[in-house]
């Protein structure tokens, strides 16, 4: 489940599900996004302007203005896109990579590679790199000899690059890959959990989700509030019953645990009486609330509490409609919190997923999309219910219903042909076992660009179709062609010179690119 986390009253950090629509005026969604698409978004939501600003990966990772000006989408070099693309081409030979290591754009592309890196390539990187690629190389990618070579390198920017990167993540309280913690600090997780540095303990607590109960108990008793907060942020591994009172009394973790532990009536009342907006919202999202507790939420004049109350299983239809009407009236008056509550799916009636079939079916005619969408996520509905959900007026409901195991081929094709697919949600609808994949190439003739894009999911798409899509005005269609496995040499060569740097980058990264063309790219760059 998602949640709203406010850093301050005027600017909130939002992580949640958003349906592309009016609220996304401040975002830069994918060209494939359309109203009704649901995406996971991390964004800054301005309570002053009502705009949502989604930071790109490059803005998070860039260390200076120069990098921000040179790269887009975290990997494509604006000035040398063919070099950055070639750096991540899985078919690039050792000789190509050694030559490429002499150029910053090439090294940046190489930092995105996965799999083993040969000693000769590592040596070339050590000769030219300033530590950027060393930050991304994992121990398992390079030989023991090269690991020793890096560990004794005279340049600290290279010698300590990987460790400094992980230390930076720990310092700023960011989730860290567990194997990175063990590799950099040279100790098993159980030892790191008791490290003297509280920031390191907090990093372990926030990243080790399946830690044993004794480790969790030690975290809950930790003297540093950052560790206790990290240990309780996620619902798992949980808070043992004997720790609940203590956690609810702890300001560092109270808001966290109020979201998910079963509450007694007295605990519920005490939390609500704090008057703290964040705590009340956390309580409202708690799935264990009783009918009496849900009734108390009705008195809280906060849209995010009110939407949670409206989605409670303990609320009758008349009360639910009244709550939604109140929220809609506030949205019409320009209330930003009401807009967020109604337009961003921070909460869903998760209790429906475990409810008896008859109870779930009672929401088939709900006027509120979220109830029908959760219902569509069922797997045991009668045929008549599926027929109605397949024809629901809301696209997100139809897409959810189409993900059932026995979705009819005609339903899947009709949905994709009308609206395309959702590429951030895997598996794709066109990957459904019942989807008639022989129809994919016919999507090239559809008028809507994001529907035409789906045709590229056919790995044997004929060359004439690829040529047609490569001439499209939309860069994302040309990018799809540049990545396609059936692309010809002539088409690749054309896209390598595309005015959009992302298209050229993708063309250079296509493993169908011939070695001779790779070397010509390097020669043209004086490498």
| Other Cβ atoms closer than 10 A to 139 | 15
Structure tokens at 81: 């896109």
Q: What 3-state DSSP class applies to 357?
A: helix
What is the pLDDT at residue 264?
96
pTM across the whole model: 0.81
Q: Could you say which DSSP state residue 160 is in?
A: T
- What pLDDT score was predicted for residue 474? 96
Angstrom distance (rounded) from CA 264 to CA 244: 10
Peptide bond into 26 cis (omega under 30): no
Give CA–CA dist 498/496, Å, rounded. 6
Measured CA distances, 501 to 449, 467, 479, 495, 523 (Å)? 20, 19, 10, 10, 19
Query: Is 272 in a helix, a strand, or coil?
Result: helix
Residue 60's contacts (CB-CB under 8 Å, 6 or more residues apart) are: none
Decide if 27 contacts 54 (C-beta within 8 A): yes
Compute the distance between CA of residue 69 and CA of residue 78 in angstroms, rounded to an integer. 8
**Rounded distance between C-alpha atoms, residue 162 and residue 166, angstroms:** 6
User: Could you tell me if 402 and 411 are in contact, meaning their C-beta atoms sit under 8 angstroms apart?
Assistant: yes
Residues of the chain with pLDDT under 70: 1-75, 345-346
Residue 43: the pLDDT is 34
CA dihedral sign, ordered 177, 181, 187, 191:
negative
Q: What is the pLDDT of residue 345?
A: 64
Instruction: For the beta carbon of residue 176, count every other beta carbon within 10 angstroms.
Output: 21
Helix, strand, coil % in the chain, rounded to nearest 5: 55, 5, 40
CA 101, CA 124: separation in Å to the nearest integer? 6
Question: Which residues, in sequence order, are bridge partners of residue 38?
Answer: 19
* CA distance readout (Å), 248 to 256, 279, 397: 9, 11, 38
Q: Which pLDDT score is estimated for 396?
A: 94
Q: Work out the number of other CB atoms within 10 angstroms of the CB of residue 188.
A: 10
| DSSP string covering 306-336 | HHHHHT-TTS-HHHHHHHHHHHHHHHHTT-H
Residue 369 has φ and ψ, to the nearest 5°, of -55, -40
* pLDDT the model gives residue 433: 97
pLDDT, position 9? 29
What are residue 236's phi and psi, to 5 degrees? -105, 145
On the question of a cis peptide bond just before residue 376, with omega within 30 degrees of 0, the verdict is no
pLDDT at 68: 36
Burial code of 366-392, b = ≥16 C-beta within 10 A, e = fewer?
beebbbbbbbbebeebeeebbebbbeb
pLDDT value at residue 27: 29
Tokens 């990772």 correspond to what residue? 61
Q: In whole angstroms, give the CA distance from residue 342 to residue 306.
A: 10
The pLDDT tens digits of the residues spanning 222-268 come to 999 999 999 999 999 999 999 999 999 999 999 999 999 999 999 99
Structure confidence by residue, pLDDT tens digits, 347-404: 799 999 999 999 999 999 999 999 999 999 999 999 999 999 999 999 999 999 999 9
């Amino acid at each position: 489940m998602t949640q709203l986390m406010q850093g301050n009253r005027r600017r909130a950090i939002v992580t949640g599900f958003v349906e592309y629509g009016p609220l996304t005026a401040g975002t830069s969604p994918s060209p494939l996004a359309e109203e009704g698409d649901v995406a996971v978004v991390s964004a800054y939501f301005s309570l002053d302007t009502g705009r949502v600003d989604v930071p790109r990966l490059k803005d998070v990772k860039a260390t200076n203005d120069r990098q921000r000006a040179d790269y887009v989408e975290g990997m494509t070099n604006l000035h040398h896109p063919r070099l950055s693309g070639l750096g991540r081409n899985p078919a690039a030979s050792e000789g190509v990579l050694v030559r490429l290591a002499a150029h910053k754009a090439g090294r940046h592309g190489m930092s995105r590679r996965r799999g083993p890196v040969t000693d000769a390539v590592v040596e070339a990187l050590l000769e030219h790199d300033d530590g950027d690629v060393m930050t991304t190389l994992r121990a398992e990618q390079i030989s023991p000899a090269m690991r020793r070579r890096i560990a004794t390198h005279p340049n600290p920017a290279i010698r300590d690059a990987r460790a400094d990167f992980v230390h930076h993540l720990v310092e700023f309280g960011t989730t860290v890959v567990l194997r990175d913690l063990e590799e950099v600090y040279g100790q098993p997780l159980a030892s790191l959990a008791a490290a003297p540095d509280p920031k390191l303990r907090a990093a372990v607590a926030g990243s080790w989700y399946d830690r044993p109960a004794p480790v969790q108990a030690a975290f809950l008793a930790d003297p540093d509030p950052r560790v206790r907060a990290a240990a309780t942020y996620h619902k798992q591994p949980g808070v043992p019953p004997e720790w609940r009172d203590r956690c609810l009394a702890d300001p560092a973790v109270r808001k966290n645990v109020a979201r998910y532990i079963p509450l007694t009536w007295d605990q519920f009342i005490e939390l609500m009486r704090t008057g703290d907006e964040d705590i009340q919202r956390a309580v409202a999202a708690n799935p264990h609330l009783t009918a009496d507790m849900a009734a108390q939420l009705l008195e809280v004049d906060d849209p995010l509490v009110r939407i949670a109350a409206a989605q409670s299983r303990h609320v009758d239809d008349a009360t639910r409609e009244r709550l939604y009407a109140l929220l809609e009236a506030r949205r019409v008056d320009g209330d930003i919190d009401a807009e967020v509550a109604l337009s961003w799916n921070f909460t869903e009636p998760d209790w429906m997923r475990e409810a008896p079939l008859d109870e779930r079916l009672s929401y088939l005619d709900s006027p509120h999309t979220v109830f029908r969408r959760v219902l569509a996520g069922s797997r045991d509905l009668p045929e008549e219910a599926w027929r109605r959900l397949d024809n629901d007026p809301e696209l997100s409901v139809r897409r959810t219903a189409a993900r059932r195991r026995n979705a009819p081929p005609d339903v899947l094709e009709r949905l994709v042909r009308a609206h395309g697919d959702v590429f951030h949600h895997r598996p794709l609808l066109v990957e459904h076992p019942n989807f008639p994949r022989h129809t994919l190439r016919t999507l090239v003739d559809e008028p809507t660009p994001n529907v035409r894009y789906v045709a590229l999911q056919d790995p044997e798409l004929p060359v004439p179709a690829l040529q047609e899509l490569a001439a499209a005005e939309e860069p994302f269609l040309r990018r799809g062609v540049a990545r396609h496995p059936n692309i010809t040499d002539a088409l690749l060569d054309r896209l390598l010179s595309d005015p959009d740097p992302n298209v050229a980058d993708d063309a250079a990264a296509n493993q169908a690119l011939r070695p001779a063309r790779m070397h010509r790219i390097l020669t043209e760059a004086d490498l």
